[in-house]
Amino acid sequence: MPFIPFDAPPQPPPVLNDLAALWVSFMHWLLEAGQNILKVVLIIAICIGIAFVLRLVIRRVVTRIVSSAKLKANVDDTQAFERSPLADMRLVQRTRTLGSILQNIVNVAVAIVALVLITNLLAPNLVGSLTLLTAAIGAGLGFGAQNIVKDVLNGLFIVAEDQIGIGDMVDMGLASGVVEYVAVRITHVRDVNGTLWYVRNGEVTRIGNMSQGWARAIIDIGVPADADLSQVEAALLEAAQGLAKDPKWRTRILERPEVWGLESITGEALVVRVVMKTRATAMDDAAQELRMRLKSAIEALDLQIPSLESVVPNGSEGARRVRGANPPKTRPNAVTGVPAPARGIWRKKSPKQAPEPPEKDR
């Protein structure tokens, strides 16, 4: 047996040494875990604070834009914008939609940043593997969900560029009708039969919006083949101008009505075309009233009406008629000396009379 000096202090049992080492390691782990928990809590608190600030900024900007539009229109709620200019209502819709999208983007971005920071804190060696795994998952999702990404990106452009809005009459190729809902991935369109169409924004290659800007009411009216064409055109123009000057309708009509002349000739009738530029939202009502007045004007001439219909030129005919009866004005030809046409909307300006010469020059 080993020699033990008589005056040596007693040695603690090995079990106590193991317990002391275990206690020291536990306290070290507990201290490190507490520090990590505090850091994680700090990271989460900072990310939540950043998200809160960004969301508050977005909400303030949206509220300021909406309030400014309401104040400009002198209304208290968004529903009252039906009596306000269409641009203000569309501005509110577009601003709220984009604000909601930005808030969702902020939430996702802050959550991802917080997750990466926490992972880097708790397991620094795992970040590289997590990056590769995330890249692989992102590539797979990007390939498999490319249609969804296409729908979302196209929807963002549709909303940001104000191509369509709720209440617009549109032709999206896949469906035509009134827009009831616009989102970043899908658009709801209600057709004339009441069918609700769900159109994916990524599948939309063209949009025809019939509620923006202005519209043109084009009406072809037939008169007997033996009618006096100049008298008929004068009566139709007078009836159309009477509608444009009517206090009830003049705010809906943008330009002077025009008679485009003899459009076609059949064996039984002469077809004369009358056009009128109106606000987009008032085109149907104005066209209906114009048809009634044109009918009354023809009947006042004791003529029968073989046909009376509204037309929509398209294709090459529509392309040639883009400017209608108002071609671009050019300078007088220096060779022929043709004077420039007299200007004026409702009536031509009377030529100014030359001043009479003084008595001594006569």
Question: Domain residue spans in the chain?
Answer: 14-144, 163-209, 214-320
Write the class of the CATH domain 163-209.
Answer: mainly beta
State the greatest distance between any 2 C-alpha atoms of the chain, in Å, as a whole number.
Answer: 159
Q: Give the per-residue pLDDT at 80.
A: 40
Q: Give the per-residue pLDDT at 329.
A: 46
- Amino acid identity of residue 224, one-letter, is P
Tens place of pLDDT per residue across the chain (362 aa): 555 555 555 555 666 666 777 777 777 777 877 777 888 888 888 888 888 888 888 888 777 777 766 666 554 444 443 444 455 666 676 677 777 777 777 887 888 888 878 877 777 776 666 666 677 677 766 666 778 878 888 888 887 777 888 888 899 888 899 988 887 788 999 998 999 999 998 888 889 888 887 888 999 999 998 888 999 999 999 999 999 999 888 888 988 898 988 888 887 889 999 999 988 888 889 999 999 999 999 999 988 888 888 887 776 666 565 555 454 444 443 333 334 444 443 444 454 444 555 544 44
Residue 54, Cβ neighbours under 10 Å: how many? 17
CATH of 214-320, one of 3.40.640.10, 3.30.460.10, 3.30.70.100, 2.60.40.1080: 3.30.70.100
Alpha carbon distance 185, 179 (integer Å): 14
What pTM value is reported for the model? 0.56
Q: Give the per-residue pLDDT at 144.
A: 65
Q: Give the per-residue pLDDT at 141.
A: 65
* Contacts for 174 with CB less than 8 Å, ≥ 6 apart: 197, 199, 203, 204
Q: Give the per-residue pLDDT at 23.
A: 74
Alpha carbon distance 36, 94 (integer Å): 44
In terms of Cα–Cα distance, which of 312, 301, 244, 303 is closest to 273?
312
Q: Give the per-residue pLDDT at 235.
A: 93
